[in-house]
Chains A and B, each alone.
Chain A
Amino acid sequence: MLRATMSESVPTIRYVLDTDTVTHQQLGQPLVVSQLRLVDRSTVATTIITLYEQLRGRLAAINRKQSDVQLQLAFRHLQATQAYYCTARILPFAEEATHVHQTLLAQKLRIGAQDLQLAAIVLAHNAVLVTGQSTSFCPSARSSD
């Protein structure tokens, strides 16, 4: 069977923003924004893990017992989150990450499922994870665990 592959025409990812960094970018935290100004932003991405975590958080907020006004706000936040990710570069948990994930699982590391999946995606792209409320785009404690 024919298997065709295409070379990627999109820039190589150097920096992967973890959920905390994305959150601070969303809030407009000056240090995170100033760091973003200094780098080639076409090489910056987040992961499907962060998308999953934020959507899960938004859905949980909708499912809480609350007033109509709060529910309206929760739905508005969900929709804004959906719109936000439409223009973000999001690294998938794809084939290569799955292979790395299997390797990490075999090492029986004491790391949570989400952290392990995130690590697999970052390692698959040979990129730097920007996390831990770091103010510079360099590896932090969590990424080097």
Chain B
Amino acid sequence: MRYPVQIEQQNGHYRASVLTVPTLTKTAASRADVLRLIQEALLEHVKRTEIVYIDIPTIDAPPAGVDHWLATAGSFADDPTLLPMLEEIYAARDDE
């Protein structure tokens, strides 16, 4: 398993942080040391954690406070193509 690790130089030290685990950071005097420390810490972290997926319901609600059915009533009143389009839609349904 590969994790992206960011290494920064700070005041003569090296600071490593795991990008996908923001709380996991280590500091050392050398790049090699900080990589070793972060690898050990990440290994321990992975041992005691798990990744799960949770389901949430599809949100089919419109924006709050919008009375769509009255606010948009007649919004296509000047569209002469709408009724012919409706006829085509129902003709397509009947053809199925």
A20-B90, A26-B82, A57-B85 are contacts. A10–B68 as well, Cβ < 8 Å?
no
A54-B89, A57-B88, A112-B94 are contacts. A41–B67 as well, Cβ < 8 Å?
yes
Interface string of B21-60 (1 = CB under 8 A from A): 0000000000000000000000000000000111111111
B92 in the interface (beta carbon within 8 A): yes
In the complex, the answer to whether A36 meets B57 with C-beta atoms within 8 Å is: no
Chain B interface secondary structure, helix, strand, loop or mixed? loop
The interface residues of chain A lying within 8 Å CB-to-CB of B62 are 86-89
Residue of B nearest to A42 (CB): B67
B86 in the interface (beta carbon within 8 A): yes
In the complex, the answer to whether B89 meets A2 with C-beta atoms within 8 Å is: no
- Chain A residues 98 to 126 lying within 8 A of chain B, measured CB to CB, are 112-115
With A4-B54, A89-B62 already in contact, 20 other A-B pairs whose C-beta atoms are closer than 8 Å: A2-B53, A4-B56, A20-B90, A23-B83, A25-B72, A26-B77, A27-B76, A27-B77, A28-B73, A28-B77, A33-B70, A41-B69, A45-B60, A56-B89, A58-B85, A87-B62, A88-B62, A88-B68, A89-B68, A92-B58
On B, residues with C-beta under 8 Å from A are 52-63, 66-77, 79, 81-83, 85-86, 88-90, 92-96
